[in-house]
Structure 1
Amino acid sequence: MGGTSYLMTHNPKDFEVVFRNEGVWPHRPGSDTLRYHRKTHRKDFFQGVEGALPTQGKTWSDFRSAVNPILMQPKNVRLYYKKMSQVNQEFVQRIKALRDIDTQEAPDDFLNVINRWTLESVSVVALDKQLGLLKESGDNDQAVLLFKYLDDFFELTADLEMKPSIWRYVKTPKLMKLMKSLDGVQEITSAYVDEAIERLEKEAKEGVVRPESEQSVLEKLLKIDKKVATVMAMDMLPYTSSTFTAALLCLAKNPEKQAVLREEVMKVLPEKDSEFTEASMKNVPYLRACIKESQRIYPLFISNGRFLNRDSVLSGYQVPAGTCVSMVPLSLLSSEEHFPKAAEFLPERWIRNATDSNGQCPANDLKLKNPFVFLPFGFGPRMCVGKRIVDMELELGIARLFRNFSIEFNHPTENALRSSLINLPNSVFLAARQLESTCFVL
C-alpha cells in the first residue's frame, strides 16, 4: 500500500557488501511518518531543517555535518557526569521510596519509572534541563505530556509503517493521532529550547561567560542555528529503556556476573554517593562488556536497512542498484557459529585476554568472528549520532544501581521484549532492597 519493498538477508557476508558500498550519503529506509510530519504536515515550522532521522542525501549530510562535531566528541559528553549523577541519585531514592515496606517489591508499573529515568537522563543533554520526572512531585504537566507523546510515537509509527495502511493516500485517524503527538513533541521541545535561550541571554547580560569546554551541547548547537538545536533535541528524546532493562535482566539472572561487576563498580565508586569522574569511568571494562553482551541477547533493532548504492552480488544473486535491502541479524546473534556458548550471558567474550566463568576457555575463543553481525548502533556515516550519550547514560545508570542494590529476577524471562518500531520491554515487576539488606529484585 505504498510502502517500501525489501529484499531480506540473514547472511553477514551480504551485510558487509551492502555497508561497504553505501557511499558517502547512505540511503536508509523508514521514518516515513516522521518525514511526512516535518516535510508536509508542519513544513511551516521545520522549513527544510528536518533532522537526521527522516532525511536523505545532501539534506541529511548537511545536518549531520553540523551536529557531528558536537555530539560525537567525547569531551562534550564528559560535561554531563555530574548532572547525570544527580539524575541517577534521584533514581535510587525513587526506588527506595516506591518499594513495599514488607516485601521490598517495587510497584507493578515500575517500567514507567525506568522510562522516566531514561527521559530525564536524555533531557539533561538534549534540553539542558532536568524535568523533575523522578521526584515525588514529578508530575510536571509538560514533562508528563512529552512522556506520553513519545510513547505514542513508538506505538503509532510501528502500526503505520510496519503494517498495511492507506495513510499515504488518506489521512487516517491513526495518522492524525500520530501527527498530534509529534506536534506535541515539537511544541514542548521548542518551549524548553526557548527557556534555555532566555537563561543563556540572562547569564550573558549578567556577565557570566563559560569557556567553550564548559558549554552545554544545547548551547553549542544554538550557536549553529536555533532550528538545528531544536530539531536535534527532538531527535535525541526518543531513546528507550530497552537496553537498560535488558542489562538489568541479564545481570539479575546471572548473579556470579553481577558480583564481578559490583566488584569493579566499587572501585570507581568507593561510596554509594561517590561522584563519577572521567578518570574513574575509563576503568570499567566489565561494565561495558555487560552492556554489549545484553545488547547481543536482547537486541534493540530488528534489522538495518539500506538502498543499494550500486549493482551488487548478494548470496550469489545479482541485485540491482536502488534495491532496498533489510539486513536481519537476529538469528546470528544467538548462533553458535558466530558466538560460541551463545545461550550463555558471557561478558568476558568482549574483554581482551579474559577467560570464561570456568576459567577454561580464553575469551578470545568466544568472541565474534564477523564484525558485521553485531552492530547495535548501526554502521558507517549513518551510525547513531547519539551513541556516545546513550553509552554514558547506560554506564552511569547501571553503575549507580549496582553500587546501591543487588538485583534478582523472580519471574519468567520469555518474551522479555515485544516487537514494535524497535524491541521494547514488556511490563516487568521489580522489587528492591538495599545492598546491605538483601536485594533489589527485578
Structure 2
Amino acid sequence: MNSKLHGLLSKTKFSYSTYLAIRNESSAATATLGQTVNNNNTTTADEEYARAKPYSQIPAPHSWPIIGNTLFFANKEKLKNAADFHKKMFNEYGPIYKMKLPHQDILFITSAEDSQKLYSTEGKYPQISAFELFERVRKDQLKHLFSSPGLLSSGEDWHNFRSLVQQDMMRPKSALFYIDEMSDIMDDFIQKVESIVDEKREVDDITRSLYEFALDAIGVMFIGTKLNVIQGSEIGKTIVTKVNKSFDLFASAGAVPASIAKFVPVYKEYVQIMDDIGTLIMAKVKESIQKHKVDGSLEGSILGKLIEKCGYDSDVPLIMAADALAAGIDTTGNTAAFLLYHLATNPDKQEILYQEIIQAIGKDGKMTETALAEMRFLKACQQESMRLAPVAMGTTRTTCQDIVLSGYQVPKGIYVMRVGYLMQNNEEYFQQPDKFLPERWIRGCPQHQKLKNAYANIPFGHGPRACIGQRFAKLELYMVAFKLIQKYKISYDGPEIGIDYIGLGSPNLPLKLKFEKRN
C-alpha cells in the first residue's frame, strides 16, 4: 500500500492494523477446500464456512432500491476514475466489499491471499463473470457471425475450444517465430514516427499509432496478412475506432440485466458495434484462408496450424483468429503506451535499457531469439510497467463452490472481481510501489524483491483461463521498447499521466513524447 493510502487508513475507523489482522486471518485459512479432519483439529471447509461471518455482512456503499449501484456503471466520470474509487472503497470498507446490480452483486477483493483462494477453488471449468456479456451476445444477436462464442464461452464448450488452441497459442516458440516480421513492422512504425513528429521532434499523442502497430502485428501473426494500418488503410482505421468504442461501452452494457437488455439504447449500440467489428474481421480472416488454399501463405502461422489440426470445415481457426485481431488492439496498444511513458519519465532506467540493447544487439542490429533471451532488463521493464499501470483493473470469476474470503461466507455463484490494480500498487506486497523499479524483478540485483505472494501480480490472469495470447503480446511490447529506445532518446514533459478505466485502462491524457535521434 502506498504511503498516501496508508496515511488515509490511519485516520479512519478501518485501520491498517485491522486490515492486516483480517488478511492474516484469511491467509491462515486453508487455501484449498475439502481437507479432512484429523486429530490435530484441522479445520474442514464446512467448519470454516460455518464459523465465517455471513455474506450479508460484507460491507457495501449505499444502493438504491431495485437499481442498486447501477448508476455507478452508467457514470463515465466514475468509470474513468475507477482506480481512485476502489482506493476509496478499500479505505472505507477494508479488503472486501460489494456493489449491487438489479440482477446480481459484484464482490470486490483486494488481497493476494483472497485471490489465491479464489483461483485455487475455480475447478475444471473456471467461469469468467465478465465474459457473460460476450457469450450472450454471440449466442443471440451475433449467431449469424459466430457458430460458437469460442474462448468467451463457459463450461465444457470453453474447455473443448481451449483444448484445441492451447498448444499452438501458448508454446514459447509460437510467438518467437515472428521476431523478423515484428522487426519489419517496427521499421514501418519508425517511419510513421518520422512522418508525424513536429519541428520539436514531438508527437502530440503516440497512443493511436500504437493501436495501429498492434493491429498490424496481430494481422501478420494470426492471419499472415499485413493490414497496412500504420500506412493508413481505411479498414484498419475503422477496426481500431470501433474496437476502441466497444471497450468504452462494455461496462455500461454489461450492467444492463439480460431480461431488458434488448430495449436499452447502450446495449443496442454495443451489439451493433460488435456486429460491425465481427463482420469486418471475419471477412479478412476468410480472405486469408481462401488465399492459403491457393498458395499456402499461412504455412507456419497460427491460423495455418489450427487449420491443419482442425480442418477447413471447422470454425475454430476462424473464431480464434478473429478474436485475436479484436482483442489485441487496445490491450497491447495501451500497455505499450504506458511502457513508453514509464521509460520516458525515468531516463535513468531508459539509459540502462539502452546499454543492454547496445551490449546484446548493437546500435543498428536486429532482434534475435538469442539476444531476446539475454535481455533481462527489457523484460523487467515490461513487467514493472504492467504492475504500475495494468490496463485491466483486475480479473473476474464466478465462485463454483462456497468459500470463505476475508473471514466472510461467499456462496457458490457469486460474481467476484479481484482488484489487481490495488494489489499491484500495495506497499504490503511491493516496496516503494509507486516507483518504476524494473530491478525488483531481476534475480541477483540488489533491488530484487521476492514476492510475498505471487497472486499480488498476475496481469495476464492465472490458471487454465489465463490470457491465451500473452506470449504474442509480450513479444510486441519487447519489440516496441527495443526498437524505439535503440533509435531514440524519448522524453515526456507534461503533467503526470494516470489511468482512464472507461473500458480498458488507457492514458488519461495525451501521451506527448519527444523522439530525439541517437547519434
State whether TM-score is above 0.5. yes
2:469 corresponding residue in structure 1: 386
1:11 & 1:77 partners in 2: Cα distance?
A: 32
Q: Residue in 2 aligned with 1:187? A: 279
Question: Could you tell me which residue of structure 1 aligns to residue 334 of structure 2?
Answer: 242
Report the residue type matching 1:130 in the other structure. K
Letter matched to residue 425 of structure 1:
P
2:208 and 2:465 mapped to 1: Cα distance?
30
Counterpart-to-counterpart distance in 2, 1:75 and 1:11: 34
Q: What is the RMSD computed on CA atoms of the aligned residues?
A: 2.0
Per the TM alignment, residue 85 of structure 1 is displaced from its structure 2 partner at its CA by: 0.8
Contact 1:312/1:320 (<8 A) preserved: yes
Structure 1: segments with no counterpart, 5+ residues = 357-362, 437-442
Matched, 1:69 2:167: yes
Paired letter, 1:368? L
Determine which of 198, 221, 230 is the counterpart of 2:306. Answer: 221
Aligned length, in residue pairs:
411
**DSSP 3-state at the match of 1:45:** coil
Structure label with greater radius of gyration = 2
* Aligned residue runs from structure 1 range 132-281, under 5 A: 132-135=228-231, 138=232, 140-162=233-255, 168-203=260-295, 215-223=300-308, 224-225=310-311, 226-237=314-325, 238-239=327-328, 240=330, 241-272=333-364, 274-281=365-372
The corresponding residue for 1:21 is 121
Aligned to 2:416, the other structure's residue is in SS state strand
State yes or no: 1:58 paired with 2:156: yes
Number of the residue aligned with 2:398: 307
For residues 71-150 of structure 1, what are the structure 2 equivalents within 5 Å?
71-100=169-198, 102-106=199-203, 108-135=204-231, 138=232, 140-150=233-243
By how many angstroms is 1:348 displaced? Answer: 0.7
Secondary structure of 1:310 counterpart:
coil
Residue 22 of structure 1, CA deviation: 0.5
SS in 1 for 2:409: strand
Change (3 A) 1:285 1:168: farther
What is the alpha-carbon distance in structure 2 between the residues aligned to residue 134 and residue 268 of structure 1? 28
Contact 1:339–1:367 at 8 Å: present in 2 too? no
Moved more, 318-327 or 79-88: 318-327
Judge conservation of contact 1:167–1:175 (CA < 8 Å) in 2. Answer: no
Q: How far did residue 401 of structure 1 move?
A: 0.8
Alignment partners' CA distance in 2, 1:150 and 1:110: 18
Q: CA deviation at 1:165?
A: 7.0
Would the aligned equivalents of 2:216 and 2:228 in 1 still touch at CA under 8 Å? yes
CA contact (8 A) 2:189 2:213 kept: yes
Going from structure 1 to structure 2, the CA distance change for 1:130 and 1:167 (only over 3 Å counts) comes to: farther
Q: Supply the AA of the counterpart residue of 1:434.
A: K
The question of whether the paired residues in 2 share the 8 Å contact of 1:302 and 1:330 is answered with yes
Q: What letter corresponds to residue 215 of structure 1 in structure 2? A: G
Please identify, of 250-259 and 189-198, the stretch whose mean Cα deviation from structure 2 is larger.
189-198
| TM-score of the aligned structures, taking structure 2 as reference length | 0.75
Unaligned runs of 5+ in 2: 1-100
Q: Contact 2:109/2:419 (CA < 8 Å) preserved in 1? A: yes
Query: 1:170 aligns to what SS in structure 2?
Result: helix
* Matched-pair contact (CA < 8 Å) for 1:110–1:429: yes
- CA spacing shift, 1:62–1:8, aligned 2, 3 Å: same
Deviation at 1:70, TM superposition (A): 0.8
**Residues 376 and 442 in structure 2, CA contact (< 8 A), matched pair in contact too:** yes
- Asked if the contact 1:289–1:351 (Cα under 8 Å) also holds between the matched residues in 2, the reply is yes
TM-score (norm 1): 0.88
| TM superposition shift of 1:166 | 7.7
Contact 1:189 1:230 in 2 (8 A): no
Identity of aligned residues (%): 28
- What is the deviation of 1:403? 0.5
Greater share of residues in helix: 2
State the 1:194 CA deviation.
2.0
Seen in structure 2, the aligned counterparts of structure 1 residues 179 and 331 have a Cα distance that, compared at 3 Å, is closer
Say which SS state the counterpart of residue 119 (structure 1) adopts. Answer: helix
Aligned mates of 2:105, 2:216 — CA distance in 1 = 37
Per-residue CA deviations over 1:94-113 (Å, capped at 9, x if unaligned) read: 1112111x31111x343211
CA contact (8 A) 2:490 2:513 kept: no
Q: Give the Cα separation in 2 of the matches to 1:280 and 1:373.
A: 30
The amino acid across from 2:193 in the alignment is I
Contact preservation (8 Å) 1:126, 1:233 = yes
Question: In the TM superposition, what is the alpha-carbon distance from 1:167 to its structure 2 partner?
Answer: 7.7
**Range that drifts further, 405-414 or 422-431:** 422-431
* CA deviation after TM superposition for structure 1 residue 78, in Å: 2.0
Select the residue among 453, 465, 470 that pairs with 1:370. Answer: 453
SS in 1 for 2:450: coil
Using a 3 Å threshold, how does the CA distance of structure 1 residues 414 and 46 change in structure 2: closer, same or farther? closer
CA distance in 1, matches of 2:223, 2:137: 21
Q: Distance in 1 between matches of 2:505 and 2:103?
A: 21
